[in-house]
Amino acid sequence: MVTKKNFLLKIGILSVSLILVSSLSISPAIPAIEGYFDHISASSIELMTTVPSFSVMIMVLLSSFISNKIGEKVTVILGLSLVLVAGVLPFFLNDFSAVFLSRIILGVGLGLINSLAVSLISINFKGKESAYLMGLRSAFESGGQAILTFLAGQLILFNWQSVFLIYLLALPILLLFMFSYPDNKKKDSDVEIDNRKQSVNFYVILIAVFLVVIVGAQTAIIIRISGIVTSFNFGNMVDASRVQTLMTVAGMILGVFFGRIFISIRYFTASLGLIMMTMAHFLVYSANSLMVITVGAVLAGAAYPLLISLMFHLVSEVCRSGSETLCMSVALVGCNLGGSSAPYFLKLIALITGSKAINQPFLSFTFLFAVLTILSWFFCRKRSLK
């Protein structure tokens, strides 16, 4: 029987994921921000959307230690408070350095809640209920990004600073979590588990590297869509935000159905996701209309949760017993390293290819994912035969 208290606890925990990937939601405003700070390089402006990932990486590794000291509830409250204050602060600022610093602080807040958004489910729920909530958590994450990206697209009609008002969403999430999550303390057995010596094996590192590539490529699409749509005259910044919203909605839907897909085709889920990602990047590269780039973005959005969810599932399979916390943190670091490094990936590809065309990197990503698709088929076949 689901009690009102139990229901509120679930909603309170799941709501934290609504704002978890919000750092990229301001990307529809990139052309407007570039126009305002015309003395700042385009790569620096793009970095502003991904720089929170650097501080997220550091805080992901520290969040377990911090939550052990002050408790999970206080850690999440502190993280959400930082997201609220640092997220909205650029609305009142006109200096690029100050805006950039606020984005770094935003990453600190997101990093504090990043791993806890996942672990609080396994701490409070077990078995099928935990698995069901994990799927919903992925849907909440994509849904939150879709909502925030859509709102950003509407707020950009006023000015670029208004986009940062999307972080006001952190306030109701903060209040809901405060009143729904109990003030419980860890048991001694739990502390002993956290204090055990943990280690990471080669397979976890390999998964983390793969996550760097997947998240980096996905972030590249997100931060370049507005520029492609506007520079090729496919539409305006509002149209670009709608494309990104559809992209995240696709991710939300596939996140919900990941469990069923994995049960049906097992590890070939990786091959399916990589085929979709290959097609997505080719369509983004070759797009000649808003419709084509929308299809490409939606395909990328649908493939992303399949690959990410599978990688985290694999982490739990290959991780040594008792090292789950560290292994999950390493995987999350891979995700955030990929997100924060995306502008550098784009610059490196431009340097190697000698092309500064805004859509050129996606041809390179197309070839990369085609190779990974072939490699994944052999891996999936070997894994499925076991």
The share of the chain scoring above pLDDT 90, in percent, equals 40
- In this prediction, residue 365 has a pLDDT band, given cuts at 50, 70 and 90, of very high
Selected residue with higher pLDDT from 201 and 317: 201
Residues 114-137 pLDDT 10s: 878 877 877 787 766 776 777 678
Query: Can you give the pTM of this predicted structure?
Result: 0.76
Residue range 147-161: average pLDDT?
88
Q: For residue 332, give the nearest of 49, 64, 46, 14 by alpha carbon.
A: 64
Looking at residue 376, its amino acid is S
pLDDT at 127: 61
Selected residue with higher pLDDT from 28 and 292: 292
Distance CA(253)–CA(258), nearest Å, equals 9
Residue range 20-37: average pLDDT?
86
Question: Exposed/middle/buried for 126, CB within 10 Å: 0-12, 13-18, 19+?
Answer: exposed
Q: What is the average pLDDT score of the chain?
A: 86
Distance CA(366)–CA(287), nearest Å, equals 13
pLDDT at 277: 97
Evaluate if residue 93 carries a pLDDT over 50: yes
Distance CA(25)–CA(240), nearest Å, equals 12
Residues 42-84 pLDDT 10s: 878 878 887 898 888 888 888 777 887 888 899 999 999 999 9
pLDDT at 189: 47
Q: Which has the minimum average pLDDT: 21-25, 246-250, 278-282? A: 21-25
Evaluate if residue 188 carries a pLDDT over 70: no
pLDDT at 45: 86
Selected residue with higher pLDDT from 31 and 2: 31
Q: Which has the minimum average pLDDT: 87-101, 132-146, 156-170? A: 132-146
Selected residue with higher pLDDT from 112 and 262: 112
Evaluate if residue 21 carries a pLDDT over 50: yes
pLDDT at 3: 59
262 close to 310: Cβ distance less than 8 angstroms = yes
Q: What is the DSSP letter of 65?
A: H
Residues 208-252 pLDDT 10s: 999 999 999 999 998 899 889 999 999 988 888 889 889 988 988
Mark residue 233 as left, alpha or beta (left: phi above 0; alpha: psi -120 to 50; beta: remaining): left
CA 148 to chain centre: 13
pLDDT at 265: 85
